[in-house]
């Protein structure tokens, strides 16, 4: 719905807004807009504990400061860095790197300082701080930032740029209602984020246990009894009935193929999808950006495809991405920057999780740092060793980990749903396209 020319709305520097809203320049309504300093520039160093020192990476996506991700400085450094001392109610706004992140400083964050990548916005007067934070994170401001960044060709914006932001303000009660609605969605997102973090921690712990202790053996009634006998191996202690295998023992490892010189991929769906490393993530492939092999080229690279029954592993650029192709990409062409594990003789999902384990990922990370141009050799992949339980136990371990991944997938879908809701609400509420009812339980007119 367009607000252009709609009765009751006015055209302003931030677009069309209700006639009873005001537009104010950020620099005119904030007592302080400044930025911090890195402690090392004035002779101090970071330390394991002490005064909180907030960086861009300390800010989550819900307007909060994650105290698990802050650095620390001494009290002497805190006192010396007077300009960067934070106060309760300050809004932090990132002006370098990941531009546009926002957070509100709470009492439990203090005492604290920040660095030069964050602007300190200190509101005054009848401004509802949570509303201002949401307004600073709105599509209007992000679009404005994009224009500034393009014109300056730098991955940062200045304090002068921040001061020039125009913000649309409804009445204080309406500000409070709008921020309450958006905060409620952020609270839901925060809950889901914590659930994802807890499930990821659970998965990590399970993998460490399952690949060293297993799940046991089944008795005559189908119950799993823990292993009681273990043996030493090159991988450490493992159950006595397990063996140690290499990737080359249990499957074939084959490379992908680049297009012939002078040929390029196309967005046109020729029926021959081509999976690049940029399409891969840990666990699978994102089909949304898939490109295709031109029809006249396909015959020359037709042997280098990957099946839904195979496993891929990236071997150039980003090393060690491991996954399985979705049903709709079964038989797709595979980039030369990835290999496929095919003709797998053990439980495919068990092998996949072994390749995702810390043990093998650490080996891959060492390969990446030991070469000037990171490349994972096909022969090296064949040499990777892993613990190999009997068939039934492989399947049981894989089933447990698949169920955890399914929970993570459902939580990620839930998170995307809330993010979509939040984006829609911000667009409608912060422009006044949807007016809030101050006496309505839902808050929306």
* pLDDT over 90 percentage in the chain: 71
For 208-250, how does the pLDDT look when each residue is reduced to its tens digit (9 = 90+)? Answer: 999 999 999 888 788 889 999 999 999 999 999 999 999 999 9
For 158-214, how does the pLDDT look when each residue is reduced to its tens digit (9 = 90+)? Answer: 888 888 899 999 999 999 999 999 999 999 999 999 999 999 999 999 999 999 999
pLDDT at residue 371, rounded to an integer: 62
The confidence band for 140, taking pLDDT boundaries of 50, 70 and 90, is confident
The confidence band for 146, taking pLDDT boundaries of 50, 70 and 90, is low
Q: What are phi and psi of 38, to 5 degrees?
A: -70, 130
Q: What are phi and psi of 198, to 5 degrees?
A: -65, -40
pLDDT at 155 over 70: no
The burial class, CB within 10 Å (0-12 / 13-18 / 19+), for 173 is: exposed
Decide: helix, strand or coil at residue 351: helix
Query: Among 4-8, 23-27, 127-131, which is the least confidently predicted range?
Result: 4-8
Who's near 287: CB < 8 A, 6+ residues apart?
273, 279, 326, 328, 329
Mean pLDDT (the chain, rounded): 90
pLDDT at residue 209, rounded to an integer: 95
The residue-averaged pLDDT of 67-95 equals: 92
pLDDT at residue 444, rounded to an integer: 56
Q: Which residues of 139-164 are buried (b: 16+ CB within 10 A; e: fewer)?
A: ebbeebbeebeeeeeeeebebebbee
CB atoms within 10 A of CB 60: 16
The confidence band for 438, taking pLDDT boundaries of 50, 70 and 90, is confident
Q: Rounded to two decimals, what is the model's pTM?
A: 0.82
Query: Which of 205, 202, 208, 207 is CA-nearest to residue 411?
Result: 202
Q: Where are the alpha helices (DSSP H) in 13-121?
A: 26-29, 75-80
pLDDT at residue 370, rounded to an integer: 62
| Residue, of 140 and 375, whose pLDDT is higher | 375
pLDDT at residue 139, rounded to an integer: 79
- Specify whether the CB–CB gap between 70 and 55 falls below 8 A: yes
The residue-averaged pLDDT of 258-266 equals: 93
The confidence band for 366, taking pLDDT boundaries of 50, 70 and 90, is confident
pLDDT at residue 437, rounded to an integer: 82
pLDDT at residue 309, rounded to an integer: 97
Q: Which residues of 186-222 are buried (b: 16+ CB within 10 A; e: fewer)?
A: bebbbebbebbeebeeebeeebeebbbebbbbeeeee
Decide: helix, strand or coil at residue 313: strand
Query: Which of 153, 137, 203 is CA-nearest to residue 357?
Result: 203
pLDDT at residue 32, rounded to an integer: 78
**Cα→Cα distances 130→21, 102, 252, Å:** 17, 10, 57
pLDDT at residue 238, rounded to an integer: 96
Who's near 390: CB < 8 A, 6+ residues apart?
241, 242
Q: Give all domains of the chain, ordered by start, each with its CATH number.
A: 24-169 (3.90.220.20), 243-388 (3.90.220.20)
């Amino acid at each position: 719905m367009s607000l252009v020319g709609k009765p009751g709305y006015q055209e302003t520097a931030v677009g069309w807004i209700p006639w009873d809203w005001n537009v104010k320049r950020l620099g005119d309504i904030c007592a302080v807009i400044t930025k911090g300093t890195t402690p090392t520039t004035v002779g101090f160093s970071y330390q394991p504990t002490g005064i909180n020192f907030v960086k861009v990476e300390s800010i989550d996506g819900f307007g909060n400061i994650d105290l698990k991700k802050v650095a620390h400085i001494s009290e002497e450094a805190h006192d010396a860095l007077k300009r960067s001392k934070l106060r309760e109610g300050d809004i932090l706004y990132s002006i370098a790197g990941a531009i546009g992140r926002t957070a509100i400083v709470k009492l439990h964050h203090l005492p604290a300082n920040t660095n030069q990548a964050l602007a300190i916005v200190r509101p005054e007067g009848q401004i509802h701080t949570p509303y201002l934070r949401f307004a600073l994170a709105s599509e209007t401001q992000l679009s404005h930032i994009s224009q500034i960044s393009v014109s300056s060709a730098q991955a940062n914006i200045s304090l002068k740029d921040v001061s020039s932001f125009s913000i649309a303000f409804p009445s204080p009660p309406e500000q409070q209602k709008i921020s309450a609605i958006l905060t409620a969605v952020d609270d839901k997102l925060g809950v889901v984020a914590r659930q994802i973090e807890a499930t990821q921690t659970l998965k990590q712990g399970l993998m460490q246990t399952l690949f060293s202790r297993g799940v046991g053996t089944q008795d005559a009634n189908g119950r799993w009894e823990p292993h009681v006998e273990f043996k030493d191996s090159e991988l450490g202690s493992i159950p006595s009935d397990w063996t140690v295998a290499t990737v080359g023992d249990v499957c074939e490892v084959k490379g992908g193929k680049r297009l012939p010189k002078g040929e390029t991929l196309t967005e046109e769906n020729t029926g021959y999808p081509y999976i690049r490393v940029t399409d891969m993530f840990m666990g699978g492939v994102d089909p949304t950006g898939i490109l295709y092999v031109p029809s006249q080229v396909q015959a020359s690279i037709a042997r280098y495809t990957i099946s839904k029954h195979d496993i891929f592993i990236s071997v150039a650029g980003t090393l060690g991405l491991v996954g399985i192709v979705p049903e709709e990409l079964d038989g797709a062409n595979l980039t030369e920057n990835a290999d496929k594990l095919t003709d797998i003789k053990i439980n495919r999902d068990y092998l996949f999780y072994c390749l995702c384990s810390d043990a093998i990922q650490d080996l891959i990370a060492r390969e990446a740092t030991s070469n000037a141009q990171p490349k994972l050799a096909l022969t090296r992949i064949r040499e990777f060793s892993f613990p190999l339980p009997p068939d039934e136990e492989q399947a049981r371990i894989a089933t447990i980990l698949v169920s955890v991944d399914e929970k993570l997938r459902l939580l990620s879908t839930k998170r995307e749903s809330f993010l979509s809701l939040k984006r829609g609400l911000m667009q409608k509420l912060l422009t006044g396209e949807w007016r809030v009812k101050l006496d309505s339980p839902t808050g929306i007119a």
